[in-house]
Structure 1
Amino acid sequence: MTDAGHSELTRRQALAAVGTAAAGAAALGAGVAAARPAGGSDVQDDGNGLIVAGNVRLTVITPRLVRYEYSARRRFENRTTMLAHNRAARSGEYRVTRSGGTLTLETAALTLTCPVGSFDPAAPQVTLKHSGARVRPAWQPDRYVPAVSGMVFLVNAFESWPAQVPPLPPGNLGGWLRCLDGVRDTVNLQPGLLSTHGWFFIDDSQSALIGDGDTPARRAADPQYRDGYLFAYGRDYRQALADLRTLSGAAPMLPRQAFGNWFSRYAPYPDDYYRTSLLPTYRANGASLDVLVVDTDFKSPNTWNGWNWNQRLFPNPARFFRWAHDQDLAVALNIHPSISGDDVQFPLAQRRSGGALKAALTPASRFFSALGKNVKGAFGPTFVWDLTDRRQVDSFMRAHDPLEKQGVDLWWLDWIIDEAYSGIPPQELAADVWIARAYGRRPRMRQTRWPLLARNGASYWDMVGTRPGPWGGHRYTIHFTGDTYATWGTLAMEVKFTHAEGNIAMPYVSHDIGGFKGETDPERYVRWMQFGAFSPIMRIHSQNLQTRRLPWEFTAPYRQAAAEMLRVRSALVPYLYTAGRIAHETGLPMARGMYLHWPHAPHAYRAEHQYLLGEDLLVSPVVKPDGAVQVWFPEGTWVNCFTGIRVTGPTVKRMRMGLSDVPVYARAGATVPVRAAVSPAAATAAPIALRVHAGADGVSRLYHDDGHSHEHRDGAYSWTTMSWNDTDRALTTAVESPTGFGGPTITRVDIVGLGGAPTGVIVDGRPVPDKDWSYDPRSRTASADVVVHPGQTQAGGSDVRA
């Protein structure tokens, strides 16, 4: 595919924006200062981060993040890009001077110099204050050839693409891949924001521009125009991610349901399977089922390109949705952005597009038939949309209307083989990210917290996708990582990949738990389920009915060990929901590489198969046969969440875990909120148990709101602070809310990691009767039944002592 057929359209749409500036200056560290000349009358400085001198414009976004633009025509760009979502972000904490033809900018983190009269490919030059190192950006070449074409299917070379990902630059801590399709072992990652060198540069010069609508614009021709972002953070990686959030926007706040158990399988299930078999079996095994992902076989006339229900499987779709919602189930439908020419909706879709839909070169249905998947339905021509054309976007989105009216909650855009495309070259726009944005801007989607479940960061036509990469995708996407093989190597890669994607601001990573392709041996399946239970999204998926992925499809003891992980996941929802809220607010991912908290510890960079989940849990999934695991414990005391055994760090321990043993440890002093009993993840009023991990003082937090609406934006939420005094063995809770929104009811407190049974338990000064508390020596846990009602005022809480 070339962009020749679209160049006229995009050139008409392109508008040159003239940069604005006003005279003024700001003193370093002085905040927003009054406008005044800075180092010469030919420097324009508005005193709040916008500086123009000669052909250069600098924008101080934060003291650690500076935008550099050069334009020989002095025409600077104010419109947003997928990366630069927030053009209003500025900082007044800087000092700027000009000496002759050189402009110098100083902030608390860096000193930047550049010529103002001509473009120097080595400009700007930057001195990093944390190390004294002098660095300079690497600008992307003007020409770009996609590393992998969508036409690779014609030569059966699709699965060769991972080998084409280049090694990471020295020091870079990794970031992303579009997907893990075809991956069987560890592969290279694309770069992320974080580097041990303490800085990172993003060249945004060629990225498409975004106005108010759904049509991107190509930049005006200016062969010397450069636009880049310099991040200087030293080892303060957490602040670097906060700065990226400032520039690129926040990850969405997911509904509470998203953190429960998901089920999917590529098989033609009838609706009564979900009603009479799947959900009852989950509940019989003591686990909640929270999200149903209905794969492509529900469609008609073609199971890949259809836009209507297969009436044999779903005779009454509206009734199916009513049943699902009555059972606190969210339903996702699989969509491929293509439509069969013999679909009854095709004439309307074509008319809405203005007759612009084009026949696909490589219809997916034919490939799947050739590869052994019997795609049902007619095999007429397949048509695709250009999702950068306003009329075609409208045509594509309105094709969803009948299904949405029946009750679908979220969409799984399974965009890997179809040729729906963006009429912008791949070096200017990442098609996956653009399409996710189009969903996010759909009015109906704005009424829900659900984003799109989709691949992220490139396109089918450019699998390696080195630019413009994934930037901005975190605002719209739960990252579906694709159709992986069921191997130990894939499991290990997923663990590494999950926390690495936090380095591109992506907190919500969703793997096919158990692997998609091929049968898995029972031990590996259990280890995959253990990883899934302690990952951002727990979504079981598989290739067909023959690939076992449900615990009760295995024999003992694997059945019991895997089913326990469904129950653990159900219990963890309050903790995970809190971690999601923190990701939304701060830019910190749910799964965090160890270096985010211990940036000066060499072991933190080598421990790539472990991570922190949220603030308090250290997770080290077993990724090798026979239970072998190596865990690095940072300084402090760590308590095994299942056995109560304490480990004092810093230390590295090599252990062999039994089949049911899960290497998850809590910080001593941490209080992990869990569901007191099994209940649907969507349930707002479900009671909470607080699991305190003894061994040190500590403070933890629990976030609570209604779980689904946008009322939290108006203050309808609460934070419960849980403070543990280890000397007194006392837990104090306090609830705060800007609007008086109450916290959840607490009905049990577990104290994990005790050396023996306590002599008693006291709640708010009153002894708890002996019959209402117990001690389990196997897990070193004392448990007490309590009743702590949610605070109804701005401050409320309780005190528990053991």
Structure 2
Amino acid sequence: MPARAQQFTRQGNAFQIHTAAQSFQLEFCTPTLFRVSYGNPAREPLMVTRYAWDSVSVQVNDGDGKLQLTTSGLRVVVGTTGLLEVYDSNGRLLSADKSRDSSGIKKVLQADEHFFGFGERMDFLDQRGKKVQLEVGRGKEKPHIVGAYNVLQANYSPVPFFMSTKGYGIFLHTTYNSSWDMGNTALDTYSFSAARGPLEYYFIYGPQFTDLLDQYTGLTGKSPLLPQFALGLHVGTYSGGTWGHEELTSSAYVIELARRFRKMGIPVDILFLDSTWRLFGENGGKGATSFEWRETFSNPKAMFDTLYNLHYNMVGLHIRPRIDNGTRYKLLDTARSLHYTYPEANNPGEFINYFDSAAVSWWWQHAAMKVAAAGARFFKTDEGSAFGALANESAKTGPGGPEAQRLHNVFPIAYAKAAYEQFAAYNQMRGLNQTREGYAGIQRFPFIFAGDWPSQWQYFEPVIKAGLNIGVSGVGYWAHCMGGFEQAADPELYVRWVQFGMLSPVALLFGMDHPGYKEPWRYGREVTEIFKQYDEMRYSLLPYLYSASYHQYKTGTPIMSALVLAYQDDVNVYNIADQYLLGENIMVCPVTEKGAATRVVYLPQGEWIDYWTGRHYEGKTYLNAVCPLDKVPIFIKAGSIIPKQQVVQYVGQRVIDNVILEIYPGTESKADLYTDDGKSLQYQQGSYAITHIDQRTENGSCRIHISAPEGKFNAPTRTFTLRVHLDKAPANGKGQYDAAAQVYTLTGIEASKENTILIN
């Protein structure tokens, strides 16, 4: 028998392994998740939220010169030099090391292996064959005529995590910038390394992508539920004056904007005031926050009161992480004297030290409360990338040195966390925070938006790609500026972007183009009607979106997902970056080409129904879909059960006591309708209700079963209306059949008890 080249000791789930080449720790967290640490195992709190694990049964075999560690899900083989091979329980090779040095590791790239993840990237969906650099920021170059940043470098919210089509994922547990070569240099090798620090990574086995996301977000934190009204429309405003026009800002503009949405019957729930509400300070100018109002806002509290009387559920303000002196408050001087700013090379610094709980407490009580007390209920925590890097609005780079390099990528998390948690406690409801930057773990403090991209066709599809990539990286609540951010949009582009935006996880309307600001009426009557049409579609889908939000909270599956998440064995979807699933059952296919009257759509395996025409199609095929300006191609999975409601102007306008169940019969399917109070954290203690709905179709008959609500919450729904999509009238039943719409409608079904409906 060969001599064993490894020595190891075991303590609980952790194995300390020593070879002639290297020493490291391998710790099983679960039977399908383990951590490898080449150095002291990290215990930082911003990325990873769980370090204590239940005991894992591990069978140890150290014969034949190899150390084999076997759980119910995996077999890990440690070679004589410390390199790892990982097999599933059936003996199939998942992953194998090729070499390791002080900063990184090389692994075998299998011939048919593809990679998805890495955060909010605008370059590619499938990263096989690519090089990837992960550092929070928008990139360095501005190669375009309009001055926009390079979409190939855009990195607002990188996540050092990927999923392989071989059924495993790897999360590199580092705060430092990282480099990934996913088969670019060598066709049979991929590698990853961190700029500094000891190497540590988690290996996760699914094999399904949804299982991998569940485990990854179990490690880095599940996304909590937003207040239900946050699924309604968000509108941002520069209050009448963007950069260079600040003198035009006023509370009167804000109030008139809010009133106009209400008068026009355009549903909206949330309003936020961007940069120009605030007085620019004496030290940092527009790149810092003084927490003082510009002189054109004479009575901010009265403004907030008016907005809340207009039934806006939340009104927020844009801030930056640098603090500054104004004309009334010397917040920067005070923070520095208390050592609550993060030190810089030649001065005490301007950034609040959001890593220090005492500094956060002071910031909240003495800075943020100056606007929260007047009525602000959330922040847009902008410019998180400026800590240790060049800021957008100044030539400053902030803190430098090794420690700042270590913290640069996680600064946006600490920054968002402070605002999210403090406002949640103050408002006594679920938190909400809007941020452009993030990193692994940012999903705990939602939501992310895609950044400041010009209103041009060339940026539209990359923004869609960003949403799909952030979703497969564990971040589900995501938004973008409908119509683009900078410049006035081509009206056709505006419509196409709005159609996508209203069918995104978070719907956000915001632009800096003066004087239009992406307000729909600026684009004429037809565009305004289409805007309203899709806004009302979104509000009708609130029960569906809210149920998808709960599913995301429980499983980590994003509300908006790339097709590869549901069809990872279908190579046809690996590079589809302009179609996605909204929830589990609705496939949205944005139109990204100017003047297009049709677009090619790929229908994955199964049966699909055209939302607009009701026509059925078999899957695993391509289709040329017709798309006039007012219609974005939408397809529904056969078997889908989609809960909807009547349109409201804002969440809370009326009690939703009737839910409409849109049922598209298929072989067999099920859905859950989730309900709670919409605002509190009581859902985390079980105060919610779930109604289970399933349908089965065979031999021409459709059987629909609706359970009584389960859970502690007393759901307000009193009745269901069934709209069953059938190509002919049923022979039985008491409902009505609309031959033109091909819909059989049955009303008055009592929601508080179990029901079974047979249609044939």
Q: TM-score range by the shorter chain?
A: 0.7 to 0.9
Query: Which residue of structure 2 aligns with residue 292 of structure 1?
Result: 271
Q: Deviations over 1:214-272 (max 9, x none)?
A: xxxxxxxxx995432122344x1111111102211211211101111111133445334
SS of 1:630's partner is strand
Deviation at 1:293, TM superposition (A): 1.3
1:442 paired to 2:422: yes
* C-alpha distance in 2 between matches for 1:800 and 1:684: 32
1:689 paired to 2:660: yes
Checking the alignment, whether the CA contact within 8 Å between 1:607 and 1:631 is kept in structure 2 is no
- Segments of structure 1 that go 5 or more residues without pairing to the other structure are 1-38, 144-161, 209-222, 364-380, 458-469
* C-alpha distance in 2 between matches for 1:202 and 1:734: 40
Query: Which residue of structure 1 aligns with residue 219 of structure 2?
Result: 247
TM-score by length of 1: 0.75
Query: Which residue of structure 1 aligns with residue 617 of structure 2?
Result: 647
Deviation at 1:514, TM superposition (A): 0.8
* C-alpha distance in 2 between matches for 1:646 and 1:414: 45
Q: Deviations over 1:262-296 (max 9, x none)?
A: 11133445334444x43444344443211101112
* C-alpha distance in 1 between matches for 2:99 and 2:420: 32
Query: Which residue of structure 1 aligns with residue 110 of structure 2?
Result: none
Query: Which residue of structure 1 aligns with residue 748 of structure 2?
Result: 787
* Equivalent residue runs for 1:214-253 within 5 Å: 226-234=199-207, 236-253=208-225
Query: Which residue of structure 2 aligns with residue 739 of structure 1?
Result: 712
Same amino acid, percent of matched pairs? 21
Residue of 107, 113, 124 corresponding to 2:77: 113
Q: Deviations over 1:716-765 (max 9, x none)?
A: 2111222234433453322332325325244533233x3245567x4xxx
SS of 1:567's partner is helix
* C-alpha distance in 2 between matches for 1:45 and 1:684: 58
* Equivalent residue runs for 1:266-665 within 5 Å: 266-268=238-240, 270-275=250-255, 277-300=256-279, 302=281, 304=286, 305-310=289-294, 312-313=296-297, 315-317=299-301, 320-321=304-305, 323-324=307-308, 327-347=311-331, 350-351=334-335, 354=338, 357=341, 383-398=350-365, 399-415=367-383, 417=391, 424-427=403-406, 430=409, 431-442=411-422, 444-445=424-425, 447-457=428-438, 470-547=439-516, 549-627=518-596, 628-665=598-635
* C-alpha distance in 2 between matches for 1:626 and 1:388: 50
* C-alpha distance in 1 between matches for 2:462 and 2:543: 27
Checking the alignment, whether the CA contact within 8 Å between 2:68 and 2:77 is kept in structure 1 is yes
Deviation at 1:60, TM superposition (A): 1.2
Deviation at 1:564, TM superposition (A): 0.9
* C-alpha distance in 2 between matches for 1:559 and 1:347: 44
* C-alpha distance in 2 between matches for 1:88 and 1:53: 21
* C-alpha distance in 2 between matches for 1:140 and 1:409: 49
- CA gap 1:165/1:598 in 2 versus in 1, 3 angstroms: closer
Query: Which residue of structure 2 aligns with residue 87 of structure 1?
Result: 51
Counterpart AA for 1:204? H
Checking the alignment, whether the CA contact within 8 Å between 1:638 and 1:647 is kept in structure 2 is yes
- Segments of structure 2 that go 5 or more residues without pairing to the other structure are 105-119, 140-147, 178-195, 241-248, 386-390
Query: Which residue of structure 2 aligns with residue 19 of structure 1?
Result: none
Counterpart AA for 1:386? N
SS of 1:400's partner is helix
* C-alpha distance in 2 between matches for 1:445 and 1:140: 46
Checking the alignment, whether the CA contact within 8 Å between 2:540 and 2:647 is kept in structure 1 is yes
* C-alpha distance in 2 between matches for 1:689 and 1:164: 37
* C-alpha distance in 1 between matches for 2:631 and 2:25: 57
1:43 paired to 2:43: no
Checking the alignment, whether the CA contact within 8 Å between 2:314 and 2:377 is kept in structure 1 is yes
Counterpart AA for 2:404? P
- CA gap 1:559/1:442 in 2 versus in 1, 3 angstroms: closer
Checking the alignment, whether the CA contact within 8 Å between 2:703 and 2:759 is kept in structure 1 is yes
* C-alpha distance in 1 between matches for 2:67 and 2:548: 43
1:675 paired to 2:637: no
Q: Deviations over 1:603-658 (max 9, x none)?
A: 12132211111111111111112234221112222122233222221211122311
- CA gap 1:535/1:107 in 2 versus in 1, 3 angstroms: same
TM-score by length of 2: 0.79
- CA gap 1:188/1:297 in 2 versus in 1, 3 angstroms: closer
Pairwise CA RMSD of aligned residues? Answer: 3.8
* C-alpha distance in 1 between matches for 2:8 and 2:121: 51
- CA gap 1:408/1:338 in 2 versus in 1, 3 angstroms: same
Query: Which residue of structure 1 aligns with residue 84 of structure 2?
Result: 124
Checking the alignment, whether the CA contact within 8 Å between 2:625 and 2:633 is kept in structure 1 is no
Aligned length: 676
Q: Deviations over 1:486-538 (max 9, x none)?
A: 12221111212212112221001111111001111111111101101111010
Counterpart AA for 2:738? Y
Checking the alignment, whether the CA contact within 8 Å between 1:354 and 1:391 is kept in structure 2 is no
Deviation at 1:355, TM superposition (A): 5.0
* C-alpha distance in 2 between matches for 1:284 and 1:584: 35
Counterpart AA for 1:170? R
Checking the alignment, whether the CA contact within 8 Å between 1:294 and 1:333 is kept in structure 2 is yes
Counterpart AA for 1:621? P
1:96 paired to 2:60: yes
- CA gap 1:496/1:265 in 2 versus in 1, 3 angstroms: same
Counterpart AA for 2:707? A
Checking the alignment, whether the CA contact within 8 Å between 1:742 and 1:790 is kept in structure 2 is no
Q: Deviations over 1:22-58 (max 9, x none)?
A: xxxxxxxxxxxxxxxxx99963243xx3334555432
Query: Which residue of structure 2 aligns with residue 748 of structure 1?
Result: 721
Checking the alignment, whether the CA contact within 8 Å between 2:720 and 2:751 is kept in structure 1 is no
- CA gap 1:389/1:187 in 2 versus in 1, 3 angstroms: closer
SS of 1:84's partner is coil
* C-alpha distance in 2 between matches for 1:619 and 1:682: 28
Query: Which residue of structure 1 aligns with residue 164 of structure 2?
Result: 195
* C-alpha distance in 2 between matches for 1:508 and 1:550: 23
Query: Which residue of structure 2 aligns with residue 152 of structure 1?
Result: none
* C-alpha distance in 2 between matches for 1:272 and 1:59: 60
* Equivalent residue runs for 1:63-78 within 5 Å: 63-71=31-39, 76-77=40-41
